[in-house]
Amino acid sequence: MVSNQQTSDVLRPPAGDAAALLDTLKHFIEHTEHHRLAAPKHIITPHERDAAYGICDEITRLHSKSFYFATGLLPETKRRAIRALYAFCRTSDDIVDQAAEGTAPQALAHWVSLVHNRTSPADNPVLIAWNDTVLSYDISQELVDELLAGIAMDLTVTRYDSFDDLWLYCYRVASVVGLISMQIIGYVDEAVDYAVKLGVALQLTNILRDIGEDANRGRVYIPQQDLQRYGLSDDDIFQRRRTPQFKAMLRFQSARAHALYEAAWPGVGMLNPDSSLAIAAAATIYRGILDSIHSADYDVFTKRAYVPLLRKVGLLASAYARLKRDFQ
């Protein structure tokens, strides 16, 4: 069981835990690599910076149509910063998922060193845009380390015993993204706990949608206690058995995610008014993935659940109406 700090019903990892986890990666960096990272940094031109943000925009469009759709509602400067954040998260995650066998620790260690040194190689547009965003919005390094620690967890953790254990992972790879986003869009302090819950809801939605893909990587994110409660095991997932017990377990997980979306909703009204619709739309549209999973009769092995464009437009209208009703 992970030892977490708790604020009401919101769990957080112990202070300093993320930094300690990242510190374990340092031995993967060669001495020559430390020397190279200490070399004079490339001076980024305005043209390079603008081009880098454009590439982050394209990465967002290609990899998350729902997020791209929702963030289109943000003011331009915030929109490009949020999409730089998405590209940074996507690139960080892909370093572990797409590395050649046996090289992921070294690849992530190199990436963490670049991030910590605020190094912006001329051939890395994601870091160019990300470092500019960090500087422009004074992004918390502690939060960035939590995010990177969550990605590092995928190097060694392939199972979670309880939902509390999974919560730590969700906090790091999703809730922290929300907390960083709030530093860009603006918020009041009371919104923080709600953002944590929304992040867990979003990541749990990801986990349910990607059960089949994660199984291909040898990972099972569904808590072992929940599998056992429904008479299931890892083997049911690896063998892609869509049994009544499996469907019942997914209904339970979906209900858990829906409850978290509802619990997180009041926080949307605590965000900067010029950005609240974008976040409401993102949450509502992403929540729609759960309905798509249900409509596919919980086939998460051969189908990837998504929200079609027309449905996105309808959910945007729904989010707008609820936002006006509840907060305006």
Does the pLDDT of residue 6 top 50, yes or no? no
Q: Which residue has the higher pLDDT, 327 or 122?
A: 327
CB 90 within 8 A of CB 59: yes
Beta pairing partners, 6: 11
Confidence at residue 119, expressed as pLDDT on a 0 to 100 scale:
81
Q: Which residue has the higher pLDDT, 78 or 36?
A: 78
What mean pLDDT is predicted for residues 210-216? 96
User: Which domains does the chain possess?
Assistant: 15-138 (no CATH), 157-328 (1.10.600.10)
Give the length of the chain. Answer: 328
And the tokens for 37? 């990272």
Compute the mean pLDDT over every residue in the chain, rounded to the nearest whole number.
Answer: 92
SS3 letters for 212-235?
HHHHHCCCCCCCHHHHHHCCCCHH
pTM of the predicted model as reported, rounded to 2 decimal places:
0.91
CB 219 within 8 A of CB 154: yes
pLDDT band at 40 (very low <50, low <70, confident <90, very high): low
What mean pLDDT is predicted for residues 179-195? 96
And the tokens for 158? 């392939």
What mean pLDDT is predicted for residues 187-202? 97
Q: Please give the helix or strand (H or E) that residue 128 lies within, else none.
A: helix 125-137
Kindly give, in sequence order, each residue whose CB lies less than 8 Å from that of residue 282, ignoring residues fewer than 6 positions away. Answer: 66, 67, 70, 71
pLDDT in tens, 110-133: 999 999 988 888 889 999 999 999
pLDDT in tens, 241-285: 999 999 999 999 999 999 999 999 999 999 999 999 999 999 999
pLDDT band at 163 (very low <50, low <70, confident <90, very high): very high
What mean pLDDT is predicted for residues 165-194? 96
pLDDT band at 31 (very low <50, low <70, confident <90, very high): very low
